[in-house]
Structure 1
Amino acid sequence: MKNILITGANRGLGLELTRQYLERGNTVFAAARQPESATDLHQLQSQYAGKLHLVQLDVTDEASIEAARQTVANLTGHLDVLVNNAGIFPGAGPEDPAKQHLGGLTAGNALTFLKVNAVGPLLVAQAFLDLLKAANKARIVSLSSGQGSLTWKASAEPYHYSASKAALNMYMRALAAEVGIYGVISILVDPGWVQTGMGGSTAALPPADSARGIIRLAEQLHAEENGSFVTWQGQPVPW
């Protein structure tokens, strides 16, 4: 069985990934900014005693990232999979800033999205790299978006969200080139338009389907796929 770290595990796709990894018998470190109020995670923790560990983690706070790394390192000597799932979308939650139309753009709003969606995942991967290197064929799976594809981008909004995912793609593409020598494989995944608080109720894809596809991808990766950008079904996404 494997050790899995999932960021943003308290809701949406992160919660579903946590559930499915636990169902497969894995040990999951479920990271969230406020784990004490993550009711669904606490319910899962009572169901999977000893298999689910809740970790406080704010991906925009370097001290929080280091504290989370220490928490996990105190419980295990290696990580098999890191899922960079934490992210924000304009207006998708009470803490997610909106107003991403021309005339309402601000530097502060842009930097908020870049810190959460791009810089945060990079710093998390950096912090946990030693634990990933200690595993056999560890994987870093970072959830991107078709909105971050320059080729696919055809609409104006959301400006900052799209730019932050394009930045994430570059960061993780660069990371892949460096961590590959340690046997670690890093990929970017477009999870699809998922029925979550971020995707909305009109989205076409149930979270269970997307999560199942992402887990299957992580399990079947080969070295030559390091640095790739694919859909949850494993199809290539143009950069």
Structure 2
Amino acid sequence: MKRILITGANRGLGLELTRQYLERGDQVFAASRQPDAATELQELQAQYPDHLFPVTLDVTDEASINAAHAAVRAKTDGLEILINNAGIYPGASADEPTNQRLGQLTGQGAIHVMQTNALGPILVSQQFLDLLQNGVKARILSLSSGLGSLTWKSSGDPYHYSASKAALNMYMRSLAAEVGHYGIISVLVDPGWVRTGMGGSGATLPPSDSARGIIRIADQLHTEENGSFLTWQGQPVPW
């Protein structure tokens, strides 16, 4: 049984990852900003009361990150897997302002996206490093995007989202260089265009397939892959 922390576990891909890990018997710390309001997460907890532990976590709030660490630490002395899944894409839904196009860009909009998608994951990883060091063959998987690839980038919009994922890539590439000394493997994963609230109904990939691929990557990672950027199918993504 692996001990797993998943951020943004209340919906979409994070919820599907939680479900699949529970189905195979693992212990999941499912983190979200308002777990008490996460209906589907509560249903899973009722089904797996001994394996699912909802955790309150806002990745943009350092006090919340510290409190989440204390809550998880009270339940376990180690983690095998951390999945940095929580993220935002302003404009993903029709009723949400985007501010990611040229002419609409604002500094505050950039800060909000960057704080959630790039700073949040590195601060969470830093805070939970002690538990990962106590885990068995610990892994950190941070969900990036092909839009964060400088090589693949061929459009303007979305400016902030793309920049935040490129920044996340650098943070996690830097992290890999250090945590590798502890035997921890850290990689970035492009989950694909997933049919979720963020990806939209026109997305080509069901969450179940993407989650299954991400879990397979976590299970099969080798030391030489530390610091790599992969698709959900395990193929290399150019930086």
Which TM bucket (shorter chain)? Answer: over 0.9
% identical aligned pairs? 70
Say what the alpha-carbon RMSD is for the aligned residues: 1.2
Whole-angstrom CA distance in 1 between matches of 2:102 and 2:178: 37
Question: In the superposition, relative to structure 1, how do residues 41 and 146 fare at CA in structure 2: closer, same or farther (>3 Å)?
Answer: same
Q: Deviations over 1:121-171 (max 9, x none)?
A: 000000000000001210000000000000000010000000000000000
Secondary structure at the aligned position of 2:170 is classed as helix
Secondary structure at the aligned position of 2:105 is classed as coil
Secondary structure at the aligned position of 2:69 is classed as helix
| Letter matched to residue 114 of structure 1 | M
Secondary structure at the aligned position of 2:202 is classed as coil
Aligned residues: 239
1:66 corresponds to: 66
Shift of 1:92: 2.5
Does the aligned pair in 2 maintain the 1:97–1:109 contact within 8 Å? no
Secondary structure at the aligned position of 1:165 is classed as helix
Whole-angstrom CA distance in 1 between matches of 2:135 and 2:147: 32
Does the aligned pair in 2 maintain the 1:121–1:142 contact within 8 Å? yes
Does the aligned pair in 2 maintain the 1:73–1:131 contact within 8 Å? yes
Does the aligned pair in 2 maintain the 1:148–1:165 contact within 8 Å? yes
| Letter matched to residue 207 of structure 2 | P
Whole-angstrom CA distance in 2 between matches of 1:27 and 1:147: 32
Q: Deviations over 1:164-206 (max 9, x none)?
A: 0000000000000000000000000000000000000000000
2:42 corresponds to: 42
1:21 corresponds to: 21
Secondary structure at the aligned position of 1:115 is classed as helix
Question: In the superposition, relative to structure 1, how do residues 96 and 34 fare at CA in structure 2: closer, same or farther (>3 Å)?
Answer: farther
Does the aligned pair in 2 maintain the 1:80–1:135 contact within 8 Å? yes
Whole-angstrom CA distance in 2 between matches of 1:171 and 1:95: 31
Query: Gaps (5+ residues) in structure 1?
Result: none
Q: Deviations over 1:39-72 (max 9, x none)?
A: 0000000001111000000000000000000000
Whole-angstrom CA distance in 1 between matches of 2:192 and 2:10: 19
1:127 corresponds to: 127
Ranges of 4+ aligned residues in structure 1 off by more than 6 Å: none
Question: In the superposition, relative to structure 1, how do residues 202 and 94 fare at CA in structure 2: closer, same or farther (>3 Å)?
Answer: closer
Q: Output the TM-score relative to the length of structure 2.
A: 0.98
Whole-angstrom CA distance in 1 between matches of 2:230 and 2:56: 29
Query: Gaps (5+ residues) in structure 2?
Result: none
Question: In the superposition, relative to structure 1, how do residues 126 and 95 fare at CA in structure 2: closer, same or farther (>3 Å)?
Answer: farther
Whole-angstrom CA distance in 1 between matches of 2:188 and 2:30: 20
Whole-angstrom CA distance in 2 between matches of 1:174 and 1:35: 31
Does the aligned pair in 1 maintain the 2:79–2:136 contact within 8 Å? no
Whole-angstrom CA distance in 2 between matches of 1:153 and 1:194: 19
Whole-angstrom CA distance in 2 between matches of 1:5 and 1:98: 30
1:201 corresponds to: 201
Q: Deviations over 1:5-36 (max 9, x none)?
A: 00000000000000000001000000000111
1:159 corresponds to: 159
